[in-house]
């Protein structure tokens, strides 16, 4: 996926600023404690895709983190700020939005208030539709840091060290992506995506209580798969042997839609199902 960074503005609390002149305080809690949450949203023709689902996950996470907010007021405010920034950056076709919300408070581990700031960034995408990768990804499995299920594991907090270390592992091993495991050595998800396997006419994906992110696109793909009469197992425990026995493996997220996997170790995969589902995903839009 290619991004353009030219002429970028960012939006901070409803106001646009030049990206190369804006700075956050060293004292902010996102930097010091990872005290925040984020969402990544794709747009097509200036329309945020699956916005209600993204805001639902965002507000659920903000409630867990004890932020003070009114969901209806904040939803309207964020929508206006996103449109303002898309216009400023002239990102009218396809764009990637990163929305970060962090606590704005003095204090050490114990914050003095639960007020928050928000920061929005946009990056232009090369197309306003989801486009399947031409070459299948080569993947590995990262086992050094384990994911653990909790109330926080389904949301996108600013504490992302397992995914960062998985990204370093990917780079060191010349992979396109890698999968993370949990404390029971079950395979959970990719670095920035949910995992699906296909075996015969059955689509398989890990249960949420395995420790993965509650994926927006994952749920859309499940609906599309059911509409196409696939059998579905969405509470699976996935082991390395399941990867090696699968006919297809693909990953889903809000920006790429679907990314098909071509190889794991000596195993090679097809992409027939991925092609079908991404075509229906674009038709759905």
Write out pLDDT tens, residues 46-74. Answer: 999 999 999 999 999 999 999 999 999 99
- Chain CA centroid to CA 273, Å: 21
CATH of domain 9-124: 3.30.470.10
In terms of pLDDT, which residue wins out, 4 or 10? 10
What pLDDT does 284 receive?
A: 81
Tokens of 182: 């949990």
| 39 touches 62 (CB < 8 A) | no
Mean pLDDT of 162-179: 98
- DSSP code for 208: G
CATH of domain 137-284: 3.20.10.10
Residues 6+ apart with CB under 8 A from 247: 198, 199, 200, 269, 270
CA-nearest of 32, 16, 256, 253 to 121 is: 16
In the sheet that holds 9-12, the strands lie side by side as: 15-18, 9-12, 116-124, 94-103, 36-44, 47-48
Mean pLDDT of 277-282: 97
Can you give the residue ranges of every domain in the chain?
A: 9-124, 137-284
């Amino acid at each position: 996926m290619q991004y353009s960074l030219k002429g970028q503005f960012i939006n901070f609390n409803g106001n646009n600023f030049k990206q190369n002149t804006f700075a956050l305080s060293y004292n902010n809690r996102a930097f010091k404690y990872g005290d925040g949450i984020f969402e990544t949203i794709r747009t097509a023709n200036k329309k945020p895709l699956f916005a209600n689902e993204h805001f639902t996950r965002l507000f659920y996470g903000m409630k867990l983190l004890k932020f003070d907010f009114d969901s209806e007021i904040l939803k309207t405010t964020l929508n206006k700020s996103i449109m303002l920034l898309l216009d400023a950056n002239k990102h009218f076709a396809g764009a990637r939005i990163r929305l970060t919300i962090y606590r704005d408070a003095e204090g050490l581990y114990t914050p003095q208030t639960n007020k928050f700031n928000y920061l929005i960034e946009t990056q232009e995408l090369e197309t306003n539709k989801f486009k399947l990768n031409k070459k299948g990804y080569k993947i590995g499995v990262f086992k050094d840091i384990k994911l653990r299920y909790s109330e926080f594991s389904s949301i996108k907090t600013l504490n992302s060290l397992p995914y960062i270390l998985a990204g370093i592992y990917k780079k060191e091993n010349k992979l396109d992506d890698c999968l993370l495991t949990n404390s029971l050595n079950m395979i959970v998800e990719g670095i920035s995506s949910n995992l699906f396997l296909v075996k015969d006419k059955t689509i398989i994906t890990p249960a949420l209580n395995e420790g993965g992110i509650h994926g927006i696109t994952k749920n859309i793909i499940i609906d599309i798969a059911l509409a196409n009469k696939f059998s579905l197992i969405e509470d699976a425990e996935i082991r390395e042997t399941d990867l090696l026995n699968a006919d297809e493996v693909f990953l889903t997220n809000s920006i790429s839609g679907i990314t098909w996997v071509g190889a794991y170790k000596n195993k090679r995969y097809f992409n027939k199902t991925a092609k079908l589902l991404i075509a229906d995903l674009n038709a759905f839009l």
